[in-house]
Structure 1
């Protein structure tokens, strides 16, 4: 069986793509494309957890749902539930007409490094005849605001200025270096694609046309999965986050008042959700800050463009912008 392995990155429409695949599951399977339940659905995060040696902060919602707080508890859980054996059993139970398995989780890109990628690649070679690794990258200027929105959704109340500063502290060659590891251990350069976060471009259509070109009749329902906050709503949520702590590991057991405050935060955000969803404005960086981001990643982006993108440019040209969210 052939494998299409979608590894991310985060904030490139991964949630939308995963929901699309699983909502079309029966239709895809009828035409030879298999999806799994045992690795998690619609995000197959379980595979990232198995091959990652990071602690429970990695893919934390997976650990939290199972009450896992340490690497030792994770290993015990995987052994007792025969987690990997169940994944392999489900793969081998695929209908005879299924020729391709699709695995998808941005956590594979976010969490696996070096030897972890190598071990995962060995597992893929054992269980599949061919593997196509698929990665979507995003213009870092667009990523900066989307990343800030994600941080605020997670419970932070940091400003855009601080969020961008953290982005600029990342090595500009981090993505390029990791791509080299995936290429090395899988013995093949991944299919690297540019995510276009605006306009009529749709990651679901792009994925279907490029990697499942013969599949017909797929449904593309309107989606707002994991949509970024707007200019007003993000400050509403930041204020709520500043007043009420989000869920943390400390919320369990020792400090019950933190857990109570986290519940209050969730209820308040649920009450404000209709107001938040009305805000359709787009977050944008100022020209100055956008230029800083472009310059930081310029050389690394040129290298990735040459090696992985056939000369296509990851970073969009500057746009005239006057306002910046603080």
Structure 2
């Protein structure tokens, strides 16, 4: 049995793909594709959580105080995953693991190498699949999600400061080199996230055809869903104000439901969608990633030009 790691990246339709996988788990199983349940429903976040080198929002929500405690919490889940793999081996050709947190939480070669060391003995081969969108677009979308979710009160301009070459979250050439060093250059399979580059303009159909290599999609279900919309200028101001006055988590680690409820009310009322979020930094972000993107295009897409142009 082979393993396919869908690493996202973040803000490239991962939730839509994961909802599609959950909905079609039985149909995909009949096609020889095992969609992991042990690692979490939809987003298989337990896998990166066990190998990441820092605590995050999930750690706080679960009230996990240290990396050692985090590994202890998730280790039994990994054991259940290996049992799941063994049970499916005789009737499945592919084990699929999907989590955009493989992109956002595993930031060092050591973390990715540790993941490979865990997986390699159990599969005949491992491939890494991910979608990639132009960085300025990623920054703007990611900022909207971050501020809406309570991440902080920083301005968009300040948030952009992390989008620098060398940071594998945004530097796709650095990310691809890191994953390729662990799993092999030929095992890294990048895909452009742009509507005109996707099968039927649908990331779910594209994933089924390109990642899973399925020719016949007729027995799979594609439910029409509303995509997550970014905040408008008014929504960003509301979110930043809430984040500056109400913490994302209470001191004991519990989620601040008051803050979340007020933000949700602003979204449901439509107030949070009012106004266009200006992004004058976009041109500078595109310029700073011009050289890394060209290398990424040449080394991993076999293209002489920048794929994001």
Cα displacement (A) at 1:44: 0.9
Q: Post-superposition shift, 1:202?
A: 2.4
Aligned residues: 300
Deviates more, 1:115-124 or 1:29-38: 115-124
Tell me the SS of whatever aligns to 2:126.
Answer: strand
Deviation at residue 170 of structure 1 after TM alignment: 6.0
- Please name the residue that 1:321 is paired with: none
Whether the aligned pair in 2 keeps the contact of 1:51 and 1:116 (CA below 8 Å) is yes
Q: Cα offset for 1:78?
A: 4.0
Question: Is 1:178 equivalent to 2:175 in the alignment?
Answer: yes
Q: Answer yes or no: is 1:188 the counterpart of 2:185.
A: yes
Which one of 101, 124, 141 corresponds to residue 129 of structure 1? 124
Q: Comparing 266-275 with 20-29, which one deviates more in the overlay?
A: 266-275
Report what 1:116 is aligned to.
111
* 2:51 corresponds to 1:56: no
**SS of structure 1 residue aligned to 2:63:** coil
5 Å-filtered alignment, 1:177-216, equals 177-189=174-186, 190-196=188-194, 201-212=201-212, 213-216=214-217
- Contact 2:38-2:84 within 8 A present in 1 as well: yes
Counterpart Cα distance in 1 of 2:68 and 2:202:
41
Compared CA separation, residues 50 and 211, structure 1 to 2 (3 A) = same
Q: Deviations over 1:49-91 (max 9, x none)?
A: 2222x2322xx32x24433121222233345xx3322110011
In structure 2, the partner of 1:256 is: none
* Cα shift readout 1:230-265 (whole Å, capped 9, x = no counterpart): 343333333333332222xx6217xxxxx79x3321
In structure 2, C-alpha distance between the alignment counterparts of 1:9 and 1:158, rounded to whole Å: 23
Alignment of 1:265-304 (within 5 A): 265-276=259-270, 279=273, 283=277, 285-286=279-280, 289-304=281-296
Does 2:225 match 1:223?
yes
Contact 1:28 1:215 in 2 (8 A): no
- The CA RMSD over aligned residues, in Å, is 2.8
- Measure, in 1, the Cα distance between the counterparts of 2:162 and 2:8: 20
Q: CA deviation at 1:215?
A: 4.2
Partner secondary structure for residue 251 of structure 1: coil
Distance 1:37 1:188, change over 3 A: same
Partner of 1:323: none
| Partner SS state of residue 185, structure 2 | coil
Gaps of 5+ in 1: 254-258, 317-326
Q: Match of 1:39, SS?
A: coil
SS at match of 1:232: helix
Counterpart in the other structure of 1:242: 244
Which consecutive aligned stretches of 4+ in structure 1 deviate over 4 angstroms post-superposition?
168-173, 197-200, 280-284
TM-score by length of 2: 0.86
What is aligned with 1:147? 142
Query: What is the rounded CA distance, in whole Å, between the counterparts of 1:170 and 1:232 in structure 2?
Result: 33
CA 1:268–1:140 in 2, change beyond 3 Å: closer, same or farther? same
Question: Aligned-pair distance for 1:210?
Answer: 1.0
Moved more, 151-160 or 273-282: 273-282
